[in-house]
Amino acid sequence: MRAIRIQEVGDPNVLQCVDVPTPEPGPGEARVKMEVAGVNFIDTYHRRGWYPMPLPFTPGVEGAGVVDAIGEGVTEVAVGDTVAYGMSIGSYAEYAIVPSKNLVQRPAGVDAQHGAASMIQGMTAHYLACTTYPLKPGDTCLVHAAAGGTGALLVQMAKLRGARVLGTVSTEEKARIAQAAGADDTIRYTEVDFAEAVRDLTGGEGVEVVYDSVGITTFDKSLDCLKPRGYMVLFGQASGVVPTIDPQVLNQKGSLFLTRPTLASHMLTRSELEGRANDVFNWIAEGKLEIRIDRTFPLDDAEGAHTYLEARQTKGKVLLTT
C-alpha cells in the first residue's frame, strides 16, 4: 500500500510517499480502508518535531473510511462499517490500523469527507465551547482565526450556545466567511490592533473567554482582551510556541485563568467520544453546523497540503484523498 512516511523531522518536503506492507490489526484494533485523511496543525507539529514521535512514522491523526478487518476482541465495529476517527496516528495511508475504541460510526447523512473533517476540528470546537469554558447566553468570546477550519466551527457552536462572537481574520474574504458562520463582529488584525478593537466593541469591558489557536503572535494581546477572571484558552500554536509565562502576569491582568487543553483529554472514555461525535454529526445532519471543505489534495501531495496549511490561508478544512 501507499503511505506517507517521515524519516526525519523538518519542512514539508520530509513527507515522502512510499510503498509499505499492508498492516494487520492486532487485538483491539481495526484496519480501515481509508477514503479521506484530515490535515491538521497537529500533523505539522509532529512533522516539525514539536510533538516528538518515534521515527520513522506515518503522520495524520484523523480520517474516514470503511472497516476492512478487525482484530481479536473488537466489539465496537464490524467489517463493512463506515467509520470516522480522530487522535490515532497513521491516517496518511491507504490503510490505517486504529484502536477500535477510537472509531465512531458515521450516520447515513455524513459522507467520508465531512466525517473526516468533523473529528479533530469539530470535536475540538465542541469541547472548547461546551466544556473548557461552557459558553452561555450573555457571554462574549473572542475567536482567533475565525474563518479557519476549527475557528468557523467554533463560531457556529458559540452561537448555538447563545454567545456573542468576535472573530479575528486577515482578509475581507475571511471576514465574510466568519460572518456567514455567525460572527457578530469581525476584526481585521492586519489593519487594526485587535486588543483595542475588542475593548471598543465591548465598551471597555473585555470578553469572558479568548479561544486562541494562533499562539505566539496573538497570546500577549489576547490577555489584554479579557475581563477580570476571564479565561485564556490556548489550544494551538500555528504561528509558533508561546514562551514560558510568569504566573504573576495573570494576577496583574485581573486574576485570569490560563489553560492549554487538548482533544485527547476530552475523549477519555468511550461515552465521552461518542457523545461529542454524535452531537457534531447530528448538528451536521440537522443543518445547524456547516463543515466547510476548503481544498483536497491527493495522498502523494501531502507536502503541498502542509505547505498550504502553514501559509495560514485556509478557509476551511484541508483533506487528503486516497
Would you state the pLDDT for residue 21? 97
CATH number at residue 94: 3.90.180.10
In this structure, the answer to whether residues 297 and 192 fall within a common structural domain is no
| DSSP assignment of 189-239 | TTTS-HHHHHHHHTTT--EEEEEE-SBTTTHHHHHTTEEEEEEEEE---TT
Instruction: Return the sign of the alpha-carbon dihedral for residues 204, 208, 213, 215.
Output: positive
Would you state the pLDDT for residue 108? 84
In this structure, the answer to whether residues 185 and 89 fall within a common structural domain is no
**Rounded to 5°, angle at Cα 58 from 52 and 60:** 80
In this structure, the answer to whether residues 56 and 159 fall within a common structural domain is no
Q: Please tell me the distance from the alpha carbon of residue 282 to that of residue 107, in angstroms, as a whole number.
A: 9
Domain membership of residue 66 (yes or no) is yes
In this structure, the answer to whether residues 143 and 259 fall within a common structural domain is yes
Domain membership of residue 146 (yes or no) is yes
At 215, list the grid cell: 499562539
In this structure, the answer to whether residues 141 and 259 fall within a common structural domain is yes
Domain membership of residue 85 (yes or no) is yes
In this structure, the answer to whether residues 100 and 228 fall within a common structural domain is no
φ, ψ (nearest 5 deg) of residue 282: -65, -40
What's the number of domains the chain is made of?
2
Which residue numbers in the chain have pLDDT < 50? none
In this structure, the answer to whether residues 59 and 71 fall within a common structural domain is yes
Domain membership of residue 310 (yes or no) is yes
Domain membership of residue 110 (yes or no) is yes
Domain membership of residue 199 (yes or no) is yes
Domain membership of residue 279 (yes or no) is no
Domain membership of residue 33 (yes or no) is yes
CATH number at residue 216: 3.40.50.720
In this structure, the answer to whether residues 115 and 131 fall within a common structural domain is no
70, 88, 140, 203, 261 from 47: Cα distances, Å = 29, 15, 35, 43, 21
- Give the structural domain span for 65: 2-119+292-321
Q: Give the number of other CB atoms < 10 A from CB of residue 293.
A: 16
In this structure, the answer to whether residues 169 and 197 fall within a common structural domain is yes
In this structure, the answer to whether residues 130 and 255 fall within a common structural domain is yes
In this structure, the answer to whether residues 233 and 130 fall within a common structural domain is yes
Would you state the pLDDT for residue 313? 73
* pTM higher than the cut 0.85: yes
What length is written for the chain?
322
In this structure, the answer to whether residues 34 and 74 fall within a common structural domain is yes
Would you state the pLDDT for residue 208? 98
